[in-house]
C-alpha cells in the first residue's frame, strides 16, 4: 500500500510540474494549480479521513473493520490509517487522471502545428496505452484512474512544447518603408505601435533614436532615448555598448560635437565599469578630438607627403618665421598633452616631430620623437623605414651632417631591407658615390 501511495504521489508531482510548464500569460497559472490541489486532492482526502473516524453514532465509518472494532471497543486506529492511505491512493490517481486529461485538452487546443501534435500523440500513446491496458488487465477495473494517468502522462510530456505561447515580436518593416519615403511622422507612430507589443525591445528604441538623430536632428531627444535604454535594468551590456557608441557617432557626424561624443562614451564607462566594453570606450575617448580646432583638422583632407628619399623630391630648407613661433609652440604643447594621455599615438608624435623640425627649428627634438616611434614594436617595417628616411633628410638638410645621413641610410638598408625606403636609400647612396667619383676626377 505504501508503494502505491508513493506511485500516486509521483503522478501528482509530475502533474503539478507539467501544469507549471504549461504556463499561461493571461491568468495566474500557479494560483490555479494551488486551487486545484486543494479542491481536487486535499479536500477529498480530508473528508475521507474525517468520515471514517466515526465521530457520532448516527454517522458511522464507511469501512466495516473500523465499525466492528469501535463497536467491540477494540483498537481501530491502525485500520483507520490503512483506510486513509488507501483513500489517498485512489484520490491521488483520480486527481492525476483528471489533471492529465485536462492538460491534454489544453495542449490540443493551443497547438499550432496540429499534424505534428497528433502524430506525436499517436506514436507515444501506442506505447503508453499498451502499458495502461496491461495494468487494467492484471489488477482489474479498479485501477482505471491509474491506467488513464499512465496513458496520458508520456503524451503530455512529449507534446508540451506544441502549446508554448510565444509573445508577439515587433516588426519594423512598415516603419522602415515609411522612412525611405520621407514619411517620418508616420514612421515614428509605426515604431511606437510595434513597441506596444514589447515595451523593452532594444531594436525598436534604437530605431526611434536613429529617427530623432538622422531625420529630426533632435539631439536632446536622441540622447534621452539612449539614456533610457542604458538605465533599463533589462538592457544587456552589449546593447548598452552599441547604444552609447551609436550616440557618439551621431554626436560627431551630425552635430560635430566632440564633447557630446565623449560624454556618451563616459556614460558607457559608468554603466559597465571595469568591463571590456569600458576599456574599448576609453580607447575611443582618447581618439576623440580635444577641441574644435583639432576637430576641424580631422575633417580637413591630409596632404600626401612624398617619400623623403625620392629622387624627384628635395626637401626645402625650412624658413623659420619668428611671428609664427607662438602658434607653433601652442600646437606643440597641445600635441604633448595628447601624447601624455596616449603615448602610442603615432600620428600625434609624428606631427609633433614635424612641428619641432620645420616650425621651431629644433631638429634634435624632432629626431628624438621619430626615434621613439622606430623603437616601438607595433609599427610596420614600412612605417619605421619612412621615419628613418625622414630622420636622414633632417640630418642632411637641417643639421648639415652628410656622414650621419649616410649612417641612417645604411641602417634603413640593414634593418628594413624589403621596404620601399630601403631601395630609395640604396639609390641615394649610389648617386652620392657617383657624385664623389666625378668630383675626384674633376679635381
What's the pLDDT tens digit per position in 398-437? 888 889 988 998 999 999 988 888 888 888 888 888 777 7
Residues of the chain predicted below pLDDT 70: 1, 24-27, 54-64, 66-72, 165-168, 291-292, 297-324, 438-443
What's the pLDDT tens digit per position in 133-178? 998 888 888 888 889 988 999 998 898 888 875 556 788 888 889 8
What's the pLDDT tens digit per position in 300-340? 645 445 455 654 434 444 444 556 678 888 888 888 888 88
Position 316 scores a pLDDT of 43
Nearest alpha carbon to residue 205 among 228, 182, 187, 184: 228
Position 204 scores a pLDDT of 92
Contact 243, 231 (CB under 8 A): no
User: Quick one: DSSP state of residue 24?
Assistant: -
Question: What cell numbers appear for 23 in the block?
Answer: 504556463
Helix 2-21 and helix 29-37: axis angle, to 10°? 160
Q: Distance between terminal CA atoms of the chain?
A: 127
Contact 143, 135 (CB under 8 A): yes
Domains with residue ranges and CATH for the chain:
2-163 (no CATH), 173-291 (1.25.40.10), 328-442 (1.25.40)
Position 250 scores a pLDDT of 94
- Give the bridge partners for 56, in sequence order: 59
| Cα separations in angstroms, 286 against 265, 310, 342, 395 | 11, 34, 7, 33
Contact 330, 302 (CB under 8 A): no
Position 57 scores a pLDDT of 62
Q: Counting beta carbons within 10 angstroms of the beta carbon of residue 118, is it exposed (0 to 12), middle (13 to 18) or buried (19 or more)?
A: middle
**pTM (predicted TM-score):** 0.47
Amino acid at each position: 500500500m505504501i508503494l502505491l501511495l508513493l506511485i500516486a504521489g509521483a503522478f501528482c508531482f509530475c502533474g503539478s510540474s507539467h501544469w507549471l510548464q504549461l504556463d499561461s500569460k493571461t491568468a495566474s497559472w500557479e494560483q490555479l494549480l494551488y486551487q486545484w490541489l486543494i479542491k481536487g486532492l486535499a479536500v477529498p482526502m480530508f473528508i475521507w479521513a474525517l468520515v471514517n473516524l466515526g465521530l457520532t453514532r448516527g454517522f458511522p465509518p464507511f469501512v466495516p473493520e473500523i465499525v466492528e472494532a469501535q463497536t467491540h471497543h477494540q483498537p481501530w486506529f491502525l485500520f483507520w490509517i490503512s483506510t486513509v492511505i488507501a483513500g489517498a491512493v485512489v484520490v491521488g490517481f483520480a486527481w492525476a487522471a483528471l489533471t492529465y486529461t485536462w492538460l491534454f485538452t489544453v495542449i490540443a487546443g493551443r497547438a499550432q502545428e496540429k499534424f505534428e501534435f497528433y502524430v506525436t500523440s499517436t506514436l507515444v500513446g501506442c506505447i503508453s496505452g499498451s502499458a495502461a491496458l496491461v495494468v487494467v488487465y492484471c489488477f482489474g477495473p479498479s485501477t482505471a484512474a491509474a491506467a488513464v494517468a499512465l496513458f496520458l502522462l508520456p503524451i503530455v510530456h512529449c507534446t508540451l512544447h506544441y502549446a508554448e505561447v510565444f509573445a508577439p515580436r515587433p516588426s519594423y518593416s512598415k516603419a522602415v518603408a515609411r522612412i525611405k519615403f520621407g514619411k517620418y511622422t508616420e514612421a515614428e507612430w509605426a515604431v511606437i505601435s510595434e513597441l506596444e507589443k514589447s515595451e523593452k525591445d532594444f531594436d525598436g528604441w534604437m530605431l526611434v533614436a536613429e529617427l530623432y538623430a538622422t531625420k529630426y536632428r533632435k539631439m536632446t531627444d536622441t540622447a534621452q532615448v539612449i539614456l533610457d535604454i542604458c538605465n533599463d535594468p533589462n538592457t544587456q551590456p552589449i546593447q548598452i555598448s552599441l547604444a552609447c557608441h551609436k550616440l557618439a557617432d551621431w554626436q560627431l557626424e551630425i552635430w560635430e560635437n566632440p564633447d557630446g561624443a565623449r560624454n556618451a562614451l563616459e556614460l558607457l564607462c559608468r554603466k559597465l565599469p571595469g568591463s571590456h566594453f569600458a576599456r574599448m570606450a576609453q580607447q575611443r575617448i582618447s581618439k576623440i578630438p580635444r577641441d574644435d580646432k583639432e576637430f576641424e583638422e580631422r575633417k580637413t583632407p591630409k596632404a600626401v607627403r612624398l617619400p623623403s628619399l625620392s629622387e624627384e623630391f628635395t626637401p626645402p630648407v625650412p624658413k623659420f618665421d619668428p611671428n609664427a613661433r607662438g602658434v607653433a609652440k601652442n600646437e606643440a604643447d597641445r600635441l604633448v598633452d595628447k601624447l601624455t594621455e596616449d603615448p602610442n599615438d603615432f600620428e600625434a608624435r609624428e606631427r609633433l616631430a614635424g612641428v619641432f623640425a620645420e616650425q621651431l627649428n629644433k631638429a634634435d627634438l624632432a629626431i628624438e620623437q621619430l626615434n621613439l616611434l622606430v623603437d616601438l614594436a607595433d609599427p610596420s617595417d614600412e612605417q619605421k623605414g619612412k621615419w628613418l628616411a625622414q630622420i636622414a633628410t633632417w640630418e642632411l638638410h637641417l643639421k648639415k651632417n652628410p656622414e650621419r645621413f649616410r649612417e641612417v641610410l645604411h641602417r634603413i638598408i640593414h634593418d628594413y631591407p624589403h621596404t620601399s625606403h630601403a631601395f630609395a636609400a640604396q639609390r641615394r647612396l649610389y648617386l652620392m658615390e657617383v657624385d664623389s667619383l666625378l668630383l675626384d676626377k674633376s679635381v
